[in-house]
Amino acid sequence: MNIILDKAFVSENMNVMKSTLYLFAMLLAGTVANAQTKSFYDFTVKTIDGADYPLSQLKGKKVLVVNTASKCGFTEQYADLQKLFETYGGENFIVIGFPANNFLSQEPGSNADIKEFCTKNYGVTFPMMEKISVKGKDIAPLYKWLTTKSENGVMDANVSWNFQKFMIDENGRLVDFANPKDVPFSNKIVDWIKDDKK
């Protein structure tokens, strides 16, 4: 009788353990799914003039997100970013610049200084946002999402220098990124823009 009771006791405990493990697995899966359901469109940023800019207004467009700087060896990429915007921009594609001073103080100016620099020297007409931080303890929420797999559900992609380029698809999902040294008209970027698969 004791053996039968012990078997019943063990069997009952095994069922409780299985149920507990199942619930834990479901909660964990739910947490991961929730972390990855956030999209590019869930963020509102500020323009270089200080106005709110909901990224949800870009639904249906591919977006190239670039952290920029005015005193960098890659600053000349502003010219090609503008040409890229003029060539492919419109209903299906846009470039957005995010000035940042995270690398050797290469973006020391104010938002007004940056705007004047970009307009005067490169004729920039694509949207420029206010100066932010793209890494470290004060990283902007959008860049935390862009660089952290647990947030974007795709990859970890720390910003290595000025002019790193993140590619966002028409549904607000991170697709890939191009390194700072990859020029705006690189095959990787142009092929991505021209690819109409969704």
Rounded CA gap, 86 and 32, in Å? 39
Q: Which residues contact 124 (CB under 8 A, 6 or more apart)?
A: 78, 81, 82, 97, 118
Helices (H), the chain: 2-36, 77-88, 111-122, 141-147, 149-152, 187-194
CB atoms closer than 10 angstroms to residue 18: 10
Which residues are catalytically annotated?
Answer: 72
